[in-house]
């Protein structure tokens, strides 16, 4: 919804999410590296721009992209044309991935490190085609209503099978590319497409069937890129490229990162044009299908245009802020930390930077909010992001450990997949598609550059490591472990009995229904309000309290009961006999009554107070004489109480 209060709330959440990144960077910069960055003012300004840009971006998603994506999915479903839905899914997947900035960066680094054997453009085309194919497969699953875990587990088997034949130089890169294919803009649109289809098609559940498209888009690139690697390394001779030695290349990258961000209008405009070019393919596909295929105007066109504009402005501001505030500091730190002789510092930095950057990831924030919305509040968006961030943190720390000590990445990934499969059959069904999608939304605008820099920096500076074989793979770890932690979140939430808002409301209705049935079984209590002629029926438990004492103490018992809340009494004569008198009770049957039986009909909540007050005043439990007891009563009619008592 487009209003100031919504934007201010998003702005507050954005700066809250950036705080962990600031704390991590400050701690390692001041406590470990022990130096103050020269460009600290630029960093502070950049962080402010990041916070504002993130809020603007998320507002644009809510206003423009989510409504359009869900509306298109609904129109396609009503149109009943499976072919056009499939074509739309492929074009969205291919068109948005081929221009993904994170993919371009990784492809260029892979081409440079492999001395030209891997072609950056061809690699991008392979990945983009695999994502288009993934969206088609995911849409087909939603239409047919197949359980997602059969597809995902089959995909894992294919990934492992391809790994057995793929050259070592391509495996880590292939795993990483599974995590960088889902962009900041693509993720919300693809999620909206899946949720919209699942909400419209009869018999589909938005939570169980709507999520999962992002998981497919993260899985298929691993398979396609490994087959590309087999073709390149087995059947084609490499082209000879003159390149800087790897050490010089890394030093040059670090030097460039250490420079100040050149804040000028030309660079800002170039960045804005770049963001527009990234968003244009999405917009073109949407307009083509909306007006040419569906032949229906976009509802609330003005809001949609404003929403897309906000997305472009927010994303551009976000990227500019990152370049000013974090990338120069973060990547330089990743390079500097590899020079220390303390591996624990590296693991700690990997863990903390993974957690903090994931908490600030725009795609994850958008998906978490949507998960909360369609799960009726059963999934808490902030808690979900905490568990995803923990998964990324553990993954990057473990991936850093693998690079430091050495070891084949495939064994780590296979073990992780095995745990994912086991948890898939243990976790609640509603969390599984969201867990699979979490692996794809964690490695995007914020995380990829920092994580890639850390991995390549470690592999470059640790003796015996090959950057092409060992440097890639951290992103794969960052994509794998959130699946495990999110499924654990589902198990914990299920164990704690957390319910959605609708479930809570239904439980309340059921409780009222049971209470009404109980009342009908035991009868309502009808009360007359003292001082009026009105009577009311209440669902209120009543009890009878009897106090049997010598007549001489009856007045004292009455005063004690009144003090404790009794509002009326029935006084009956009584005659009691002790244990010794029962031996010869025939001679005592006709004796005059010596005791008083005081019966108080009162609300059950007052029983303890009345009995406690009576036995204290009359010392019934000690040396005093008397007896008191109570029991529940029902079907009260004719009782008169003060309004205050009710």
Sequence-distant (≥ 6) Cβ neighbours of residue 323 within 8 angstroms: 46, 261
Dihedral angle sign, alpha carbons of residues 173, 179, 184, 186: positive
How far apart CA 47 and CA 330 sit, in angstroms, is 13
- Assign 3-class secondary structure to 495-554: HHCCCCHHHHHHHHHHHHHHHHHHHHHHCCEEEEECCCCCEEEECCCEEEEEEEEEHHHH
pLDDT band with cut points at 50, 70 and 90 for residue 118: confident
Q: Which helix (H) or strand (E) holds 602?
A: strand 595-603
CB 217 within 8 A of CB 209: no
| Inter-residue contact 282 to 186 (CB < 8 Å) | yes
Strands 525-529, 637-641: pairing kind: parallel
Q: Where along the chain do its domains lie? A: 4-506, 527-645
In this predicted structure, the answer to whether residue 254 has a pLDDT above a threshold of 50 is no
Beta bridge partners of 527: 536, 639
Q: Region 159-170: what's the mean pLDDT?
A: 86
Query: 3-class DSSP state for residue 319?
Result: helix
Rounded CA-CA distance 460/472 in Å is 11
* Burial zone of 329 (CB within 10 Å; 0-12 exposed, 13-18 middle, 19+ buried): buried
- Cβ contacts of residue 196 below 8 Å, gap of 6+? 69, 70, 71, 72, 73, 74, 77, 210
Task: Give residue-wise pLDDT tens across range 10-64.
Answer: 888 778 777 777 787 778 777 777 777 666 777 778 778 878 887 888 788 778 7
- Residue range 527-645, CATH number: 3.30.70.120
Residue 425 neighbours by CB under 8 Å, 6+ apart: 149
For residue 447, give the nearest of 459, 438, 434 by alpha carbon. Answer: 438
Q: What is the pLDDT of residue 99?
A: 63
From 217-221, 333-337, 429-433, the region with the lowest mean pLDDT:
333-337
Coil vs helix vs strand at 237: coil
End-to-end CA distance of the chain: 45
What is the average pLDDT across 289-315?
Answer: 82
The token pair at 330 is 């973060």
- Could you tell me the pLDDT band of residue 244, with boundaries at 50, 70 and 90? very low
Measured CA to CA, the distance from residue 73 to residue 618 in angstroms comes to 78
Residue with more model confidence, 536 or 145: 145
Instruction: State the average pLDDT over residues 581-586.
Output: 54
The whole-number pLDDT of residue 390 equals 93
**pLDDT > 90: what percent of the chain?**
8
> According to the per-residue pLDDT averaged within each range, which of 31-35, 57-61, 208-212, 343-347 is highest?
343-347
pLDDT of amino acid 259: 44
pTM: 0.59
Rounded-to-integer distance, Cα 412 and Cα 452, Å: 18
In 3-state terms, what secondary structure has residue 104?
A: helix
Over the stretch 624-640, which tens digit does the pLDDT of each residue have? 678 899 998 877 777 77
237-257 mean pLDDT:
45
């Amino acid at each position: 919804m487009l209003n100031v209060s919504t934007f201010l709330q998003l702005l507050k959440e954005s700066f809250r999410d950036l705080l962990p990144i600031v704390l991590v960077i400050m701690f390692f910069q001041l406590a470990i590296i022990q130096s103050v960055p020269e460009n600290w003012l630029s960093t502070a300004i950049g962080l402010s721009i990041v916070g504002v840009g993130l809020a603007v971006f998320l507002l644009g998603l809510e206003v423009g992209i989510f409504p359009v994506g869900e509306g298109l999915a609904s129109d396609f479903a009503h149109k009943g044309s499976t072919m056009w839905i499939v074509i739309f899914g492929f074009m969205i997947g291919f068109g948005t991935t081929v221009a993904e900035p994170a993919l371009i960066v990784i492809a260029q680094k892979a081409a440079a490190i492999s001395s030209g054997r891997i072609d950056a453009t061809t690699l991008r085309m392979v990945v983009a085609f695999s994502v288009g194919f993934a969206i088609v497969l995911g849409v087909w699953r939603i239409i047919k209503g197949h359980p997602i875990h059969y597809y995902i587990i089959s995909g894992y088997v294919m990934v492992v099978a391809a790994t057995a034949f793929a050259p070592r130089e391509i495996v880590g890169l292939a795993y990483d590319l599974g995590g960088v294919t889902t962009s900041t803009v693509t993720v919300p649109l693809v999620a909206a497409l899946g949720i919209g289809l699942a909400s419209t098609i009869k018999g589909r559940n938005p939570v169980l069937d709507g999520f999962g498209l992002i998981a497919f888009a993260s899985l298929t690139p691993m398979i396609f890129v490994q087959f590309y690697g087999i073709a390149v390394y087995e059947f084609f001779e490499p082209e000879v490229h003159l390149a800087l030695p790897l050490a010089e290349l890394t030093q040059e990258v670090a030097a460039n990162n250490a420079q100040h961000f050149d804040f000028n209008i030309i660079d800002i405009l170039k960045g804005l044009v770049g963001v527009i070019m990234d968003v244009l393919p999405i917009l073109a596909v949407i307009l083509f299908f909306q007006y040419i295929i569906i032949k229906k105007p976009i509802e609330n066109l003005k809001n949609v245009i404003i929403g897309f504009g906000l997305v472009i402005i927010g994303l551009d501001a976000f990227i500019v802020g990152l370049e000013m505030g974090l990338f120069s500091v973060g990547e330089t730190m990743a390079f500097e930390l590899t020079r220390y002789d303390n591996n624990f510092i590296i693991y700690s930095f990997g863990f903390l930077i993974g957690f903090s950057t994931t908490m600030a990831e725009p795609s994850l924030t958008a998906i978490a909010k949507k998960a909360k919305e369609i799960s009726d509040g059963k999934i808490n968006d902030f808690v979900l992001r905490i568990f995803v961030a923990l998964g990324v943190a553990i993954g990057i720390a473990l991936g850093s450990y693998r690079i430091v000590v050495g070891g084949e990445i495939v064994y780590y990934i296979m073990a992780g997949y095995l745990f994912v499969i086991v948890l898939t059959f243990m976790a609640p069904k509603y969390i599984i598609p969201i867990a699979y999608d979490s692996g794809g939304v964690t490695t995007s605008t914020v995380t990829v550059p920092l994580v890639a820099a850390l991995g390549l920096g470690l592999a470059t500076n640790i003796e015996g490591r090959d950057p092409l074989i060992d440097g890639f793979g951290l992103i794969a770890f960052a994509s794998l472990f959130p699946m495990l932690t999110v499924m654990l979140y589902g198990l914990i939430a299920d164990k704690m009995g957390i319910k959605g808002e609708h479930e809570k409301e239904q439980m309340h209705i059921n409780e009222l229904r049971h209470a009404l049935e109980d009342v009908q079984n035991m009868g309502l209590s009808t009360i007359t309000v003292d001082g009026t002629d009105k009577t009311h029926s209440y669902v209120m438990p009543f009890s009878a309290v009897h106090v049997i004492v010598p007549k001489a103490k009856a007045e004292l018992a009455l005063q004690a009961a009144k003090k404790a809340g009794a509002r009326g009494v029935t006084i009956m004569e009584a005659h009691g006999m002790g244990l010794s008198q029962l031996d010869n009770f025939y001679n005592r049957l006709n004796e005059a009554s010596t005791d008083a039986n005081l019966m108080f009909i009162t609300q059950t909540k007052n029983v303890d107070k009345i009995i406690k007050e009576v036995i204290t005043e009359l010392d019934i439990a000690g040396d005093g004489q008397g007896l008191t007891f109570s029991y529940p009563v029902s079907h009260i009619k004719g009782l008169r109480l003060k309004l205050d008592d009710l």
